[in-house]
Amino acid sequence: MGLLSKKDSKLIMDPLADNNPITIQVLGICSALAITAQLKPSIVMAISVMFVMGVGNVVISLMRNIIPSKIRIIVQLVVVATLVIIVDQVLKAYAYSLSKELSVFIGLIITNCIIMGRFEAFALANGTWRSFLDGIGNALGYGVILIIVGFFRELLGSGTLFGFKVLGDSVEKTGLYAIGYENNGFMVLPPMALIVVGIIIWVQRSRNKELIED
Amino acid sequence: MEHIELFFKSIFVDNMVFAYFLGMCSYLAVSKKVSTAVGLGAAVIFVLAITVPLNWLLDQYLLQEGALTWLGPEYADYDLSFLSFIMFIATIATMVQLVEIIVEKFSPSLYNSLGIFLPLIAVNCAILGGSLFMQSREIETLGLALNYGIGSGIGWFLAIVAIAAIREKIRYSNVPPALRGLGITFIITGLMAIGFMSFGGMLTGGEEEATEETEENTVGMVTTAIADEKDEATSLVIETTNVTDKIN
């Protein structure tokens, strides 16, 4: 990347693979899994988190020298909560049915551990531009996992992607269904999100042996 | 009856961890030993039991549409519900801080066992989730809100203690290397969640489904019975025609 120095591009690329916030750092799982039964809410969630993390990291990094360390948690929570209210109101105004579907999980971005974790670990100690890149990078790493899980759960669970019937019509028996394929209704249920993430972790760690825990 | 129902529903059917994945971060991070898991679980029950009723009061008398009528009729059409995230999280952060100070003062032994977990709890999704679910499900009375808080706290407690116990034992099993640690914990949690889904039919939800099923069954039986009668009738007609043919 010409725009970014090597050190800066590392900030974005690292969380995508070997330092992924979900599979390696184990942060931000709370709000991630419940909304991944379909692809569309997963992507909306990923974009919302990216907005909150990018802007939040910049704000915290600008204020890092004037926040008293004793009350920093409350200051961070107020910054995140304000950003999340913006996201929530925008969704309510422009995508009402989607915001109903995501229900409380937009609100739960506030307590998403990735955000607090990055504020504590990075934005409080680094400059504005680097904090912004770090925020975007971690949100991308989070979004990638969300989108992978959403993709598989929607494809295998309901045979659709973004609501389009990519595998044929299950009622009229066209496409794959004509040769006896059936949807796995289990993929839509909450427990499968955990198992899919477990499998992603499995694949990732068998490709990169350094990540294996004992 | 309403209370008992909500209590068991919030523990088993709507379990914070297994049905909504709330509080997963600390659930995965602090579940390596049973004793620490018990400490964190107890702290979560404690904080939920305080914050949910408190946020219920805030929601009822400050945030909801028309909640400000007690100030005077001219405030009746104020709707401050867009402020609820920031109000809830502020309440939770303050209460956690306050609880920490009070516990430290009056019960040092409890503070030593809960102490390190209390600050963690402010950013536990299960706590904020409890308040947000309380708001979106429109729980009606303060008593029910308290009940809901304690119930979902106990549900979370059960989940983390169970997974900690399993993780203590799984150290002796031969797990594939790449799955060790985090991966297997995810899969076990998934399996436990499948197990908890069997509680789904335990309460009213199940009864409603059951009545629907029986209705369908009875309707089905009636239609088949009618069809049978028709068949019999037609066969009778055929027989009689045969007989009359023979006579002729």
Task: Identify the pLDDT of residue B243.
Answer: 55
Out of B23, B89, B182, name the one closest to residue A26 (CB).
Answer: B182
Residues 58-117, chain B, touching A (beta carbon < 8 A)? 82-86, 88-90, 93-94
Are B10 and B49 a contacting pair, CB within 8 Å? Answer: no
- Asked which of A163-177, A199-213, B31-45, B112-126 is least confident by mean pLDDT, the reply is B112-126
pLDDT digits (tens, 9 = 90+) for A117-139: 888 888 888 888 888 888 888 88
Q: Is A121 on the interface with B (CB under 8 A)?
A: no
Closest residue on chain A to B24 (Cα): A30
Q: Which domain holds residue A76?
A: 24-203
Q: Which residues of A158-197 are buried (b: 16+ CB within 10 A; e: fewer)?
A: bbbbeeebebbebeeeeebbeeeeebeeebbbbbbbbbbb
Out of A85, A113, A194, name the one closest to residue B82 (CB).
Answer: A85
**A14 part of a folded domain:** no
**A73 part of a folded domain:** yes
pLDDT at B110 over 60: yes
**A12 part of a folded domain:** no
DSSP count for chain A of H helices, then E strands: 9, 0
Task: Identify the pLDDT of residue B221.
Answer: 44
- Best-predicted range by mean pLDDT among A44-58, B58-72, B86-100? A44-58
CB pairs under 8 A between A and B: 145
Q: How many separate domains does chain A show? A: 1
**A211 part of a folded domain:** no
Q: How many Cα atoms sit within 13 Å of A68 on the Cβ side?
A: 3
Question: Among residues B165, B161, B24, which one has the least CA distance to residue A194?
Answer: B24
In angstroms, the Cα distances linking A14 to A5, A134, B149 are: 14, 9, 39
Task: Identify the pLDDT of residue B223.
Answer: 43
Residues 174-193, chain B, touching A (beta carbon < 8 A)? 176-184, 186-187, 189-191, 193
CA distance A179 to chain B (A): 30
Q: What is the C-alpha separation between B133 and B140, in angstroms, rounded?
A: 13
Tokens standing for residue A58: 């910049």
In angstroms, how far apart are the furthest CA atoms of chain B? 109
Tokens standing for residue B212: 């629907």
- Best-predicted range by mean pLDDT among A18-22, A86-90, A97-101, B178-182? A86-90
**Domain spans of chain B, in order of start:** 2-203, 205-248
Q: Could B21 and A89 be called an inter-chain contact, meaning their C-beta atoms sit closer than 8 Å? A: no
Out of B18, B20, B89, name the one closest to residue A110 (CB).
Answer: B89
Exposed (0-12), middle (13-18) or buried (19+): which is B52, by Cβ within 10 Å? buried
DSSP A161: B
- Best-predicted range by mean pLDDT among A161-165, B200-204, B213-217, B235-239? A161-165
Task: Identify the pLDDT of residue A155.
Answer: 87
Full DSSP string of A39-94 = HHHHHHHHHHHHHHHHHHHHHHHHHTTTS-GGGHHHHHHHHHHHHHHHHHHHHHHH
Calculate the average pLDDT of chain B. Answer: 78
Task: Identify the pLDDT of residue B114.
Answer: 66
Residues of A in contact with B18 (CB under 8 A): 190-191
SS3 A118: helix
pLDDT digits (tens, 9 = 90+) for B185-217: 888 998 998 888 888 777 654 444 444 444 444
Tokens standing for residue B166: 């399993």
The structure's pTM equals 0.78
pLDDT at B157 over 90: yes
**A10 part of a folded domain:** no
Task: Identify the pLDDT of residue A31.
Answer: 67
pLDDT at B78 over 70: yes
Residues of B in contact with A197 (CB under 8 A): 186
Interface predicted TM-score (ipTM) over 0.90: no
pLDDT at B141 over 80: yes
Are B31 and B167 a contacting pair, CB within 8 Å? Answer: yes
**A117 part of a folded domain:** yes
pLDDT at B102 over 90: no
**A5 part of a folded domain:** no
pLDDT digits (tens, 9 = 90+) for B117-140: 676 677 778 888 888 888 888 888
Sorting pLDDT into bands at 50, 70 and 90, what band is B146? very high
Question: Rounded to 10 degrees, what is the CA torsion of B4, A103, A145, A50?
Answer: -140
**A64 part of a folded domain:** yes
Residues of A in contact with B96 (CB under 8 A): none
Question: Among residues A3, A14, A92, which one has the least CA distance to residue B82?
Answer: A92
